Structure 1
Amino acid sequence: MTSGRFTAKTVAITGAAHGIGAATARRFLDEGARVAVIDREADGFAESFAGQPVDRLLTMAGDCTDAAVLADFHGRTIAAFGPIDILFNNVGQSGRERAAQFHESQEEVWRFVLEVSLFTAMRMSHLVVPAMRQRGGRIVNMSSDAALVGDAGLADYAAAKMGIIGFTRSLARELAPHRVTVNAVAPGAIRTRAHDRLTPAVIERIKATTPAGFIAEPEDVAGCVAFLASEDARYLTGQTLLIDGGRWMI
């Protein structure tokens, strides 16, 4: 992909050492953007961005749940590449091994899931919005089809990801007069490292309940994020785009 449609644009992506974040960063780099990424798992940068243009790529190790770290990332990005034109609030996760049926769940896990999956998006957006109000821009937030399906055992994650949808809609209304669009993507089953912990039986069950019949790749999400960040989507704001092979339809 070498269209150059994001040439001279500055993109910031949270949680981008692996998976969807890394695939999206590569997509923007392939299309000419200057890209800044942050992830606490900095050891993944070397593999994920091998061969990428170092003059247009900034990597930073850091915990996205720390407001001071996000502020530092924002400052470094501007210092290296100028004001942020496109923000992809990608970072987020479920309780993973600590996930449980709600009656057995723990509040400390709820708080972690809300912090990493909702508050990081709000904090990072709060950093970029003042400049975007002056010059326009794009914000894409990471939700999940779990917000709409309501998967059992993921009440905290579903709540956080539905919170992303509400945040996206409200911020979109505020920023629309300033030539800023705000949208969300809501992936379903995507082949990331999280799937490595699933048994073959679970993988087959996911495929069986997905009308498309297969599990998508991170690049499938990256293409949708790039569309939402492009001029092709200039009249599209406040929307949530499900990328789940038809598992949930709106």
Structure 2
Amino acid sequence: ATGGIGRSICKVFSKNYNIIVLGRDKEKLINLYKSSDSFLKYFKCNLDDFEEIKNTVEKINEQFNSIDILINNAGMTNDSLFLRMNLDSWQRVINTNLNANFYLTNLVIKKMVKNRWGRVINITSVVGHTGNYGQSNYSASKAGIIGMSKSLAMEFAKRNITVNCISPGFINTKMTDVLDDDQKKKILEQIPMAKIGEPEDVANCVFFLASENAKYITGETIHVNGGMLMT
């Protein structure tokens, strides 16, 4: 939650919600905490470790009773052509992007079931739908989240719990900062709106899906990509 999209999500939710943030980097978490003008609690947590996540969720439940809205935003890339990709590169991305999503949702949704209300919002990616050259691990992790979200939406709908995805295209974050001018030019040629999105574009959609205005929406993916992919 300490990156561009996560930081924007915290900002959008800050006026209406108590925010709890998990992340690996304690320094970034502290900086996010200091920059927030609302209630924000942070926990340093290795999202690859189920037991560590379990202990963290137990601490949160002790302090705040329950988590009503879960936003799974953890994500990393480790790009490589498939023939050159080793097991470590594959597992690191799958563990952070997909397994951590399962761990958190599995632990948090139990209280939502008991309370008969909840929102689970998963941040995926356009490449989870299209695939991408050199990103078989990242594409697989994001596609896995989309499939899992649809299944969970079916399982928990009767408990008044919605599960949805937001699939960003190219957004101004550290992931796009590494692109050179030629790469950005080629990307813009694929986007009908001819511009790269901002983290706030994603955060505003997250806020909508968490609200009562979206209470009859579940199992869906909202694409935030300037028209790059239309489904």
TM range (shorter): over 0.9
Q: What is the RMSD of the two structures over their aligned residues, measured on CA atoms? A: 1.4
Name 1:73's counterpart in structure 2: 56
Paired-residue identity, %: 33
Structure 1 counterpart of 2:71: 88
What does residue 166 of structure 2 align with? 185
Distance in 1, matches of 2:12 and 2:63, equals: 20
1:2-41 to 2 correspondences below 5 Å: 16-30=1-15, 32-41=16-25
Deviations 1:100-154 (A, max 9, x none): 1112211221111111111111110001111111211000012110011211111
**Cα distance change, pair 47–203 in 1 and its aligned pair in 2 (3 A):** farther
TM-score where L is the length of structure 2: 0.94
Matched position secondary structure for 1:94: coil
Question: Which residue does 2:151 correspond to in 1?
Answer: 170
In structure 2, relative to structure 1, the CA distance for the partners of 1:206 and 1:88 (3 Å cut) is same
Q: Which residue of 2 aligns with 1:63?
A: 46
Q: Counterparts of 1:200 and 1:60 in 2: how far apart (Å)? A: 37
TM-score with structure 1 setting the length: 0.88
Q: Does 1:127 align with 2:116?
A: no
In terms of mean alpha carbon deviation, does 197-206 or 81-90 score higher? 197-206
Question: Does 229-238 or 60-69 show the bigger shift?
Answer: 60-69
Return 5+ residue gaps in structure 2 as ranges.
none
Q: Which amino acid aligns with 2:67?
A: I
Q: Structure 1 pair 207/47, CA: closer, same or farther in 2 (3 Å)?
A: farther
Maintained 8 Å contact 1:58/1:77: no
Q: Which amino acid aligns with 1:141?
A: N
Per-residue deviation, 1:72 = 2.6
CA contact (8 A) 2:33 2:41 kept: no
Which residue, 218, 227, 231 being the options, matches 1:246? Answer: 227
Alpha-carbon separation, structure 2, partners of 1:103 and 1:195: 25
- Partner SS, residue 60 of structure 1: strand
Q: Deviations over 1:166-218 (max 9, x none)?
A: 10000010000000000011111011112222212212221221111111111
CA contact (8 A) 1:186 1:240 kept: yes
- Per the TM alignment, residue 38 of structure 1 is displaced from its structure 2 partner at its CA by 1.0
1:222 matches 2:203: yes
> Where does 1:204-219 land on structure 2 (aligned, <5 Å)?
204-219=185-200
Aligned: 1:139 with 2:116: no
How far apart, CA to CA, are the structure 1 residues paired with 2:30 and 2:114?
35
- Aligned-partner SS, 2:230: coil
The residue type paired with residue 143 of structure 2 is M
Cα distance in structure 2, aligned partners of 1:41 and 1:232: 34
